[in-house]
Each structure stands twice: as C-alpha cells, then as structure tokens.
Amino acid sequence: MSIFYLVAFLAIIFALMTIFTKNPVHSVLYLVVTFFTLTIHYILLNAQFLAVVNFIVYMGAIMVLFLFVLMLLNLNEESEPMKSNLVKIMGAVAGMCLIATFLGAFKVITPDNEMVVGNAEIGLVKNLGKVLFNEFLLPFEISSILLLTAMIGAVLLAKKDPKKV
C-alpha cells in the first residue's frame, strides 16, 4: 500500500521536472522516468499486459522517437524559446486552478472504493486477449488501418519535396 504513495510521489516529482527543466533533452529523460513510474503503477494494479505495453511502446518507442527528433533538430538550452515570467506564473496558476476544480468535483462524488473481488486476473494477457479478439475485433482491425495511415502520412510529411530541391 505504501508503495503506491511512494511511486505516486515520484511520478509527480518527475512530471514537474519534465515541464520545468529548461534543457529539452533532460525533459525527455525525465518523461521517460515518469513513464517508468507509471509502468510500476500498472504492475501494482496487476495489469501486466498494460505494464509491458507501456514499457515497450511508450518508454521504448515513443520516447526514443522524441529523443531522435530532438537530436536531429539539434536543440539545446541556448536555442530553447522561453515564455515570459508573467505567462509562466499565469500558466502555473491556471494549472493549480484546474487541480482545485478537480478536487472540488471529486469531493461531491463518492465512488465506492471496494474492489470487486474474485477476478483479479483480468489484466493478464490471456484474459485481455480473449476480450480483445471477441468483443473488440472490429476496433482492433480499424486501429491497424489507423496505424498504416499514420505511417504513410508521417513518411509523406517528413519527406523532402523533390521539386523544391
């Protein structure tokens, strides 16, 4: 139980570091650590499939993509565009207002905190696979088309225009 609070605290600290660090590369690295703490949260929830997917797809693929683009564009602390302090303070205040609104709203609703016992194994690959390929077969196939479209779009966008060069 106390592991949850420790990991949640670490996740919040690293998320704050992500948005407040000036150097973009450090920012990406802190985001990787944040995602790692979220992976620990999935493991604590016994959602093993999501933990593995989060680890491989988010930490492995997406963050490396971010890092590659940062290094490709050769960004560092000097070239980092910064907003004025006034805008920063206003942004921070707006974020805190959002948290206050959320907490106020959650005070009104009271979800019952009881866990439904008996099926603690829904997060395992076997059970998720059964659900995914029975009830959600059509969305699964459509998401593959989405990924194909995104791939073609990304290649088309990032390719240099042959007429210009």
Partner 1 sequence: MENFVTQMQGVPLNHYIIFCSIIFAIGVTGVLIRRNVIIIMMSIELMLNAVNLLLAAFSVYRGDASGQVFVFFIMALAAAEVAVGLAIIIMVYRNTKSVDIESLSKLRW
Closest CB to partner 1 among 34 and 163?
Answer: 34
Q: From CA 116, how far away is CA 36, in angstroms rounded?
A: 27
Contact 44, 7 (CB under 8 A): yes
- Shortest distance, position 164 Cβ to partner 1, whole Å: 10
Q: How far is the CB of 107 from partner 1 (least distance, A)?
A: 10
CB contact at 8 A, 45 and 123:
yes
Minimum CB separation of residue 162 from partner 1 in Å reads 14
